[in-house]
Amino acid sequence: MPIVYATGASHAPGITAWTQAAPVEQKDKLYAAFEQMRQSFAAAKPDVVLALTSEHWINFFLDHVGAFCIGRADFYDGPVEPWLRVDRTRIPGEPQLASELLAHCYENGFELNYSHEMELDHGTIVPLHFLMPDMNIPMVPIMFNTLAEPRPTPRRCVELGKVLRPVLENSGKRIAIVATGGLSHDPGEAGHGIIDQEFDAAFIDRMRRGDLAALSSYSDAEMLAAGAGTMELLAWLCMAGIMGERGADLIAYEAVKPWATGVGIMSYPLAA
């Protein structure tokens, strides 16, 4: 069974929590893009969502830091933030596929952490609730450590995607991939509000061309220079690794000052 859907989308909490703070043209463009993504997601009829995502000191802290953590839980609750203006809900898990992915990763050079209990914050919930408003399709999350140094390198994230791909393609299930986060932003830090549009344009260009060599060549410092939140794009790099040399279409990009984020949505053209 092929991968039937693959989209990367920003998860800035302002998208849902401070929607009206954004200039109306920007907000309308992005909401139209999310609606387009919802329709294509539904048309793809996925059985499972692989969420390549990150979190913000909710499940993980400096008492135990891993590079990647795959969820083997029966369900995931979220969002944890009562102010996000998204109803708290329970999304079913898909522990069997998670375990297959985990075993395959161990055999192929990636000893992922795993967890039987993870809560979801805006990092996962914001894009997901647009794509599947009913929050009813089973998911497997892989959390990327984007916060604490050292982080996994862009090269390794692309490599991880390449390792995941055959299990997804041979799973017998219709797989949707959703990568969350980015683009440039520096949330809560001194550079909060700065959006590096030049970085974002170059990143989008590499994704469009499916240029895995260029995507792999990013350094941690180079991405960090565009803001700490830019590291969330590690999840997108993993998606690019799964999708191989295919290019992703740009659905929308807006540098939204009140949301303090370069908000981007890209999607791979796939036969449903």
Partner 1 sequence: MSTYALNKLLREVNRNPQTRERFFADREAVASEFELTGEEREAVIANDVAKLYKLGAHGLILRPFTLIQQMPEPDYLAAIRSN
Summarize as ranges the residues that interact with partner 1 (CB under 8 A): 56-58, 61-63, 147-149, 186-190, 192-193, 228
- Of the candidates 140, 137, 138, which has an alpha carbon nearest to the alpha carbon of residue 116? 140
Closest to partner 1 by CB, 163 vs 228, is 228
Check residue 23 and give left, alpha or beta (phi > 0: left; psi -120 to 50: alpha).
beta
- Of the candidates 50, 138, 39, 49, which has an alpha carbon nearest to the alpha carbon of residue 90? 138
Q: Give the angle subtended at the CA of 69 by the CAs of 181 and 156, to the nearest 5°.
A: 70
Closest to partner 1 by CB, 148 vs 272, is 148
Q: Which two tokens stand for residue 107?
A: 């055999």
Tell me the CB-side half-sphere exposure of residue 118, using CA atoms within 13 A: 33
Closest to partner 1 by CB, 1 vs 148, is 148
CB of 192 to partner 1, least distance (A): 6
- Of the candidates 167, 161, 255, which has an alpha carbon nearest to the alpha carbon of residue 212? 161
Q: Which two tokens stand for residue 229?
A: 């939140």
CB of 235 to partner 1, least distance (A): 16
Q: Give the angle subtended at the CA of 143 by the CAs of 168 and 148, to the nearest 5°.
A: 145
Closest to partner 1 by CB, 32 vs 148, is 148
Q: Which two tokens stand for residue 3?
A: 């991968």
Q: Which two tokens stand for residue 249?
A: 């279409």
CB of 85 to partner 1, least distance (A): 15
d(C-alpha 38, C-alpha 55), whole Å: 23
CB of 190 to partner 1, least distance (A): 5
Closest to partner 1 by CB, 61 vs 106, is 61
> Would you call 182 helix, strand, or coil by DSSP?
coil
Closest to partner 1 by CB, 58 vs 195, is 58
Closest to partner 1 by CB, 93 vs 187, is 187
CB of 193 to partner 1, least distance (A): 7
d(C-alpha 26, C-alpha 200), whole Å: 16
CB of 150 to partner 1, least distance (A): 12
CB of 154 to partner 1, least distance (A): 21
Decide the pairing of beta strands 175-180 and 113-115.
unpaired
